[in-house]
C-alpha cells in the first residue's frame, strides 16, 4: 500500500534552517510528483511547491522563492524539503503529498491523493 | 493568485440529512480546451492529513463513498454529503489546481446537530 512517512517534529530558532524528509513506499517513487503543503495554526492549507521525482525539476511558490529547496534521493525513495531563514510565521505542520498523475484522458491531476502524516516545525527563541 | 472562498465557515447537520458546502474562486478554474474544472475537495479530521474526496470538480476518488458528490463549473462549486454519518465530522477544503500557486479555501467545519 502507498505510504508517505515523514520525519519527526523539529524546534528551531529564528534564522535557522529545517529539513523535513518524506520516505515513500508502495509505488514507484520516480513516477509521481511530490508536493509540499503547510498548515499554520488556525490557517488554511498553503501550497509550497513540487518536485518531479524522476528528473528533480521543481516548481516553487513565489512566496518561498530563495528560502525553500526540494531534493530527492531516488535510492531511498525519499523526498526532502529544506526551509531556511526561519521566522515565527513558519511555525506550522508541513506535509508532503503525492500527485495522482494523469487521468484516463491524459490530463494531469494536480491534486494530492496520498499524504504524509505531517511534521510539526516550531520556530521559537 | 486565485482566491478560494468557502461558505459557510461552519455548519451543523442532523444525522441522515444532507450537508452542502460551497466554494467560490476569484477567477474561473475551467480550462476551455478540455472543458475540465481544476477543482478538488478534501476532508481533514483532527490530527490527520487531508484526504482527497473529489477532483475535476465532480470525479470521486477511488474508495470515497457515493454519498459525497461534487458539482459546479467556472467559479462556483458545491460539495454535497448525503445521508450524513457521524464519521463525516471534519473540516472540508476546496483547492484549485488551475494555476500556481495552488490555493485552498479557508475550510468549512462540519458538525452533527
pLDDT tens figures, A84-100:
999 999 999 999 999 99
Q: A114: distance to nearest CA of chain B, Å? A: 7
**What is residue B76's predicted lDDT score, i.e. its pLDDT?**
98
Alpha-carbon gap, residue A99 to A51, rounded angstroms: 10
Angle at B77 between CA B71 and CA B79, to 5 degrees: 60
When pLDDT is averaged across residues A14-30 and rounded to a whole number, the result is 98
**What is residue A20's predicted lDDT score, i.e. its pLDDT?**
98
Report whether the peptide linkage leading into residue B11 is cis, meaning its omega lies within 30 degrees of zero: no
Cβ of residue A19 closer than 8 Å to a chain B Cβ: no
Q: Minimal Cα distance from A45: which residue of B?
A: B104
Q: B13: distance to nearest CA of chain A, Å? A: 23
Considering Cα of B2, then A80, then B92, then B47, what sign does the dihedral take? negative
Positions of chain B with pLDDT under 70:
none
A43 CB-near residues (< 8 Å, 6+ apart):
A92
Q: Which of residues 44-83 of A touch B (CB under 8 A)?
A: 44-47, 59, 61-63
Average the pLDDT over each of A21-25, A37-41, A44-48, A105-109 and give the range with the smallest value: A105-109
Q: A32: distance to nearest CA of chain B, Å? A: 16
**What is residue A115's predicted lDDT score, i.e. its pLDDT?**
98
**Percentage of the residues of chain A whose pLDDT score is greater than 90:** 99
Report whether the peptide linkage leading into residue A120 is cis, meaning its omega lies within 30 degrees of zero: no
* CA distances to A100, B23, B43, B48, B103 from B3, in Å: 23, 10, 19, 24, 7
Do the beta carbons of residue A123 and residue A91 sit within 8 Å?
Answer: yes
Do the beta carbons of residue A34 and residue A97 sit within 8 Å?
Answer: yes
Strand residues in B9-102 grouped as ranges (E): 10-13, 19-25, 30-31, 36-37, 39-44, 51-55, 59-60, 68-73, 76-81, 90-96
**What is residue A124's predicted lDDT score, i.e. its pLDDT?**
96
Parallel/antiparallel/unpaired status of strands B68-73 and B30-31: unpaired
**What is residue B90's predicted lDDT score, i.e. its pLDDT?**
98
SS3 A63: helix
Q: What phi, psi does B105 have (nearest 5°)?
A: -70, 170
Residue whose C-alpha cell is 482566491: B3
Do the beta carbons of residue A70 and residue A52 sit within 8 Å?
Answer: no
Query: With an 8 Å Cβ cutoff, are B49 and A107 in contact?
Result: no
Q: Minimal Cα distance from A117: which residue of B?
A: B49
Residue whose C-alpha cell is 528528473: A55
B35 CB-near residues (< 8 Å, 6+ apart):
none
**What is residue A13's predicted lDDT score, i.e. its pLDDT?**
98
Amino acid at each position: 500500500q502507498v505510504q508517505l512517512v515523514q520525519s519527526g517534529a523539529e524546534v528551531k530558532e529564528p534564522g535557522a534552517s529545517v529539513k523535513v524528509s518524506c520516505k515513500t513506499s508502495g509505488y514507484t517513487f520516480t513516477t509521481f510528483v511530490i508536493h509540499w503543503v503547510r498548515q499554520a495554526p488556525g490557517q488554511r492549507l498553503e501550497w509550497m511547491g513540487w518536485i518531479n521525482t524522476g528528473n528533480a525539476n521543481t516548481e516553487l511558490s513565489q512566496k518561498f522563492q530563495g528560502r525553500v529547496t526540494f531534493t530527492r534521493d531516488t535510492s531511498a525513495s525519499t523526498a526532502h524539503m529544506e526551509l531556511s531563514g526561519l521566522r515565527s510565521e513558519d511555525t506550522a505542520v508541513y506535509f508532503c503529498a503525492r500527485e495522482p498523475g494523469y487521468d484516463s484522458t491524459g490530463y494531469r491531476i494536480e491534486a494530492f491523493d496520498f499524504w504524509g502524516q505531517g511534521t510539526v516545525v516550531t520556530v521559537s527563541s | 493568485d486565485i482566491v478560494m472562498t468557502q461558505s459557510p465557515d461552519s455548519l451543523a447537520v442532523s444525522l441522515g440529512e444532507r450537508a452542502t458546502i460551497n466554494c467560490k474562486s476569484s477567477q474561473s478554474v475551467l480550462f476551455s480546451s478540455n472543458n475540465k474544472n481544476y477543482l478538488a475537495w478534501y476532508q481533514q479530521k483532527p490530527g490527520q492529513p487531508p484526504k482527497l474526496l473529489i477532483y475535476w470538480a465532480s470525479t470521486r476518488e477511488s474508495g470515497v463513498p457515493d454519498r459525497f458528490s461534487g458539482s459546479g463549473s467556472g467559479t462556483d462549486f458545491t460539495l454535497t454529503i448525503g445521508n450524513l454519518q457521524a464519521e463525516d465530522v471534519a473540516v472540508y477544503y476546496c483547492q484549485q489546481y488551475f494555476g500556481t500557486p495552488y490555493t485552498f479555501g479557508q475550510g468549512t467545519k462540519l458538525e452533527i446537530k
